[in-house]
Every structure is written in C-alpha cells, then in structure tokens.
Structure 1
Amino acid sequence: MRLRTVLASLTATVAAATAMAAGPASAGPGPAEAGPVAGSANTPRQHACSPAVRLDRFSDVLDKTTYEGTFVGNLSGLAVDRDGSLAAVSDRSALFRLDPRTLAPTGVAALADESGAALDSEGLVVDRDGTRLVSSETEPAIRRHSRSGAILDRLPVPDALRVAPAGRAVANGTFEGLTLLPGGRTLLASMEYALAGDSAGTVRFQTWRRTRGGSFALAAQYAYRTDPGLGVPEVQALPDGRLLVLERGFTAGVGNTVRLYLADPRHASDTRAVPYLTGQDGVRTVRKTLLADLVDCPDLGATARQPQPNPLLDNIEGMTVLPARPGAHPARPGAGVTGRDRGWLRVLVVSDDNQNAVQTTRFLFLRVRV
C-alpha cells in the first residue's frame, strides 16, 4: 500500500551488527543458495532476531532498478512458482518473475482491471495450475490472472468488506495478505485494518473454498487482533494450517514497526454472521504468538535513507515461505530438512519502497522456527 503514517508504539532498540555483514547492494546468493554452512557464522545460531527468528542476510539488489522499461519496486506480494522461481507483484500493476538465485527479473506482465484501469495489487498466490490469484485493495477484489496478466476469473467479496460507501472498509485498508492453505482447497485474505464499527485493531480474515469447477466460493471468516496502531500487510500459510502474520506500522520521524507472529485460526469463531466485532460479542479471535519484533534483528551493515529504529527496517509488505532445498516442491517447505536446519523454515520478505527516494526495495532472508 502507499506510504502512510500510522501511530504505532515502537521500541527503539537497535541490535548490534555482527561481524558477518551483507552489503546493501549485493545480490549475493539467492533463495536457492542461502542455506547455512556448518561451522560458518551464517547459521541459524547466528544473526538472532529472537529465539525463533534468525536473519541469514539481506539484499538491496533490485532497489531503484528497471526491467524492460518497468520500475522494479513497489513490491507488495511474493510467491514461489511451481518451477521454483519467484513471482512478485507490484502495487503499480506489474507482475514480475524473479530468478530464485539472483533475484534478477526474468519476466514482467502488466495487470489491469476489467476496464483496463491500473490495479493496486497487494497479495499474490500461485495456484496449482500456475495461474495467479491477485488481491487488489481498491474495491477490494481478488482476480485470477494468467501468467501474461489476462483476467480469467473474479472471486465474490462480502458487501461489508467493500470500501465505503459500498461497504464498511476504509480506503487503503482492505485485502493486503493472500495465501492458500494446505491442500489447496481454501484461500485466505487478510484485511489490513478494521471495518468501521469493529473494534480498533480487530481485522477480518476472509476465506473461500474451492468449488468443483475450480473457482472459489465464500466460506468462513475470522477475527484477528493486531497490536495497537498496527495493520496486517501479509499472511502466509504453514503446512499444519497455522499462519505467519506480519504486523506493520509507521510513525513519521521514527520509522517502521514490523513484527512477525505465528497465528492459529483453527479454533477461532466464524464471524460471517457477526455484523460488528466489539470485543463483547463472545467471539474467539485467532490466537497469536510473537515470533520476533524485527527491530531486534542485527542490521548486518544495512543503511536507511530515513529515520528507522533499526536501519535494516523499511516498509516490509510481502512474504513467502521458500522450499528448504533447491528443487524441493514449493508446497512442501520443510521437505528434505536435516541436521541443524531441522525445524527452521526459510522465509523471504520484501519491502515496498513506494517508488520513494528515501525508501528501499529490500529483501530479508529469514529462518523461522515455529
């Protein structure tokens, strides 16, 4: 989404940089090469953000670059394609294909709505047939696109989740995160902010169930409570049905707050029939556990062009779980993990630079233990 000021409570703690620093403009080894080496400083035991999250490295290699005349930035969603390559969506109507080792763009397709207008694309899922499900927070909407960007389908959206006056959602506060749950039968989208009339910080997670025809029909809805002042820019499903949830905020003159949570919607109430979430309605919200506040990650020599509580931080917005090993099936992120890697997922996040000179397109390569 566009850069906005959200009054968030920040802990301005900067973790000391380790001796192993990743250069801010270095492409370095990409996702397929970032596994730890026994005895090196770049193992899950080093670069700790918390007991559950480690930072392998970061890369600014795509910052302020272009590809075939298209600005490579404004990245808001990531996904692993069926062949192991990366897909990335820009909120300025571009769908990129990235090399999994170098992050270099290898393809780009333009996105537009049914009338040809640009999309504010935010979430991205590569479906099992290779088509792309992309959320737009303008209406909001979820559309199925071909690899070339053509619209193939559009999913139904509950009226209440539409932007006012059609619904109760605030502008730039609708579908940000998008993920396909294990088994590929359930799609989940996260609203970024609360609907008008819902308690502040209580956002809705909407799901769809795959139909026999291969499309998706509206299904259960859940309530998730964010930390004060924060929104939800991204969600990613794990193999056991739990979710990784990013929470993010921005305070002018201070910088970004970015927190990573483990969330479990499996015992939450279905809120489809609850018009207003007030906190007094007996609704069981999605349970969450803090994995890390990224302000506590080592900065590894990163620099920031605007005030940040940790120079590593920026407007983090996209996230995907990577295969554990080169050639591993994207739908089995933990497959083939042995030794000291066991129990750690490889997670890639990216910042949306808003095509702003004082922001950075930055990839963070994380190890997450859930």
Structure 2
Amino acid sequence: MRLRTVLATFTAGLAVATSLAAAGPANAQQNRADRADWVDRRDRADRVDSAETACSPSVSLDRFSDALDKTTYDGTFVGNLSALAVDQDGSLAALSDRSSLFRLDPRTLRPAGVVPLTDENGAALDSEGLVVDRDGTRLVTSETEPSVRRYSPAGALLGRLTVPDALRVAPAGRAVPNGTFEGLTLLPGGRTLLASMEYALSGDAAGTVRFQTWTRRGGEFTLGAQYAYRADAGLGVPEVRATPDGRLLVLERGFTAGVGNTVRLYLADPRRATDTSGVENLTGQDGVRPIGKTLLADLVSCPSRGATAKQPQPNPLLDNIEGMVITGRSRSTLKVLLVSDDNQNAIQTTRFHFLRVRV
C-alpha cells in the first residue's frame, strides 16, 4: 500500500471513529452506512494501488533500475550479468559471463569491487551460475564444458566438482553448445547443490532439461540425484533459485527476432520427481515424473513503469533477463531481484527488476 493510501485510510478512519463516538442512536444507521462506504473506497484504493504494480496475482513489480547500463568500474565493463547472489556481508555479488565477479551495494547497486575469475589454465570462463556458500566460497558454473568450480572470495581457484559425462558438450557428451549449466542454487540446509541445464540433451524430448544435484558429504560435494524439468515450447532455463521451503523459483526465457523476449517465472517442486540419473533418454513416454511447476507470472504482463526498450519487445520492460536472487522475505512473500544480460550490445540493456513474489 502506498503512502498516500495509508494517509487517506488513517484520516478517513479517524473521521469515522470520531463521528461514531459523537452520534446518538438516531444517527447510528447513517454512521454504519458511512463506514461501509469508507471501507469500500479504501478497498477500491488498495485495488488500484495493486493494479499499478501487479504482474499477476502472485507477482508485483516494485521498480526497475538501469543505473549500471553501459558503465565501467575499475576499468572493467559492468554488464553481461548472468547471475546474482547475496554475500555474507549483505552486499550483492553479480557475475558477468565474461569472467568477472562484482560486489554491488544492495541499495544503490553501485559497484564496490571486482574480482577476475579464471580456469585451471588461467583462461576466462563463460561464467553463468553463482552461489555464495556458507563459508564465503564462491561456486561458479561455466557452460563451456560445463563445469562447477569453487573460488575463494579473492578469486583463487579452490577446486572443481564432478559432472556426469552425458551433460558435457558434444562430442564429449550429449549437450548442445551454450545450452548447459546456466542456473545454480543451494537448497535450504546447505547440503544439496543444484544446477539447471538451459536446453535439452540430444536424445531427450525437446524442452526437457535436466537438473543435476550434488550432495555435501564430509565437506565435499559428490554427485546426487538428477531430475527432469519440462520448459515451455521454445524456452530455456537461464536461472533457478531455491525458496526457503525447498521449492524452486525457475526462470524460463526465449527470444524471437523482431518480437523480443519471453520471460516467465515458475514455482517448481522437485520433491516428488523421479531421479533420472540412470535414464538415458527422456522421451516423455518413459514413466518419469518430472518436476512439477506452477506459473507465477509471465513478465510481459508487468507494468512497464516508464521503461524503454532499444529493440522490439512485447513489453518495453523486458530484455534478456538471466539472473535471479531472493534478497529477503516476509511471511509468504519473497523479495526477488532479476537482472538482464546486455551481451555488451548497444541495443540491449543491463536492467534490474525488483519483484515481490507470493509463494
């Protein structure tokens, strides 16, 4: 509820309360009618206020920010952002797919530091997914191989997790280039790490992507269960985030030239899904129970809030949204921050979207 609604509600309520106290029996019926009218006007005001921010009954857009679009920090381009995480000190960690990890002020988004990341040979990564572990270690995916590596806060390479052969890019495995580990999240309790493939493996049904998990044992992550997730036709999975109750927020995204981006936010539940680590081909006719999902919002329905687009978009608010993090919660509502990857392209925008999501 906005400030003007709160003030109007308080003032109207005070007036009604005063009139009721002063009224005699002859005026009671009129006072009840006045109060009913006030309640109706208050409820209508709340509905209008909600309509200004609502993307759906479950998702609302508080604001957006283009503050970092086409900026630099310490000689490094601030863009190509593919993942977000909340660091131990409350700052935001923002991962560029050009192998840079930024520290951002959570209120202003102003950069306050940048760390370069490299592989074992000192080469840059195609870095896509990010988790800040409980000890401050950074877990980072690269979709080139794909891989999940561990880094210190200063950017020192600490190790690398095992990846199933089938998930490797062909010819080493069955994954398509630029279609592997995009999302990464740590489930509540910190014992299970989950990475989402962006697109289906060769031999799997179109749109059926695999979510791979690792289980922490003795301080190390070992391969765990794997699940099937069915994305909408023509869309891939650029990001996934665990909710406090163990479900998942899943971003689905696609792009059509001349039309623009499709971005949808789903709530998914892996807890009853089949472990597919031993299933060679996911055909849809194999008895596999995929991760269940429920649409929270198609972001084309969000209010544009004055946003502009540099290329055709079905809603000028939209761009190549790729990163997502849960920054806070109250009861059943999550504060969720999204960021778009501008690909260092003049016709794309680095844009942050501040959402409230009811789960």
Residue ranges of structure 1 left out of the alignment (5+ in a row):
1-34, 324-333
Residue 124 (structure 2) aligns with: 118
Q: How does 1:347-366 map to 2 (within 5 A)?
A: 347-366=336-355
Instruction: Return the alpha-carbon distance in structure 2 between the equivalents of residues 119 and 211 of structure 1.
Output: 27
Shift of 1:311: 0.2
Q: How does 1:90-109 map to 2 (within 5 A)?
A: 90-109=96-115
Residue 287 (structure 2) aligns with: 282
Structure 1 contact 53–368 (Cα < 8 Å) conserved: yes
Q: Over residues 23-51 of structure 1, what are the superposed CA-to-partner deviations in whole Å (9 max), with x where a residue is unaligned? A: xxxxxxxxxxxx97583799766410000
Residue 35 (structure 2) aligns with: none
Residue 144 (structure 1) aligns with: 150
Larger Rg: 2
Structure 1 contact 36–44 (Cα < 8 Å) conserved: no
Residue 15 (structure 1) aligns with: none
Q: State the TM-score, normalized to the length of structure 1.
A: 0.84
Q: Structure 2 vs 1, CA of residues 112 and 38 (structure 1 numbering), >3 Å: closer, same or farther?
A: farther
Structure 1 contact 37–43 (Cα < 8 Å) conserved: no
Structure 2 contact 52–303 (Cα < 8 Å) conserved: no
Instruction: Return the alpha-carbon distance in structure 1 between the equivalents of residues 304 and 338 of structure 2.
Output: 15
Aligned counterpart in structure 2 of residue 305 of structure 1, from 292, 310, 313: 310
Aligned counterpart in structure 2 of residue 208 of structure 1, from 204, 211, 214: 214
1:316 has 2:321 as partner = yes
1:39 has 2:2 as partner = no
Q: How does 1:49-128 map to 2 (within 5 A)?
A: 49-128=55-134
State the one-letter code of the partner of 1:192. Answer: E
Shift of 1:58: 0.1
Instruction: Return the alpha-carbon distance in structure 1 between the equivalents of residues 85 and 92 of structure 2.
Output: 6
1:178 has 2:184 as partner = yes
Instruction: Determine which structure has the larger helix proportion and give its number.
Output: 2
Instruction: Return the alpha-carbon distance in structure 1 between the equivalents of residues 52 and 249 of structure 2.
Output: 22
State the one-letter code of the partner of 2:105. Answer: D
State the one-letter code of the partner of 1:58. Answer: F
State the one-letter code of the partner of 2:354. Answer: F
Q: Percent identity?
A: 77
Q: Structure 2 vs 1, CA of residues 91 and 301 (structure 1 numbering), >3 Å: closer, same or farther?
A: same
SS in structure 2 opposite 1:83?
Answer: coil
SS in structure 2 opposite 1:233?
Answer: strand
State the one-letter code of the partner of 2:348. Answer: Q
Shift of 1:344: 1.4
Aligned residues: 319
Instruction: Return the alpha-carbon distance in structure 2 between the equivalents of residues 190 and 47 of structure 1.
Output: 30
Structure 1 contact 220–272 (Cα < 8 Å) conserved: yes
Instruction: Return the alpha-carbon distance in structure 1 between the equivalents of residues 141 and 285 of structure 2.
Output: 31
Taking only aligned residues, the RMSD between alpha carbons, in angstroms, comes to 1.5
SS in structure 1 opposite 2:166?
Answer: helix
SS in structure 2 opposite 1:39?
Answer: helix
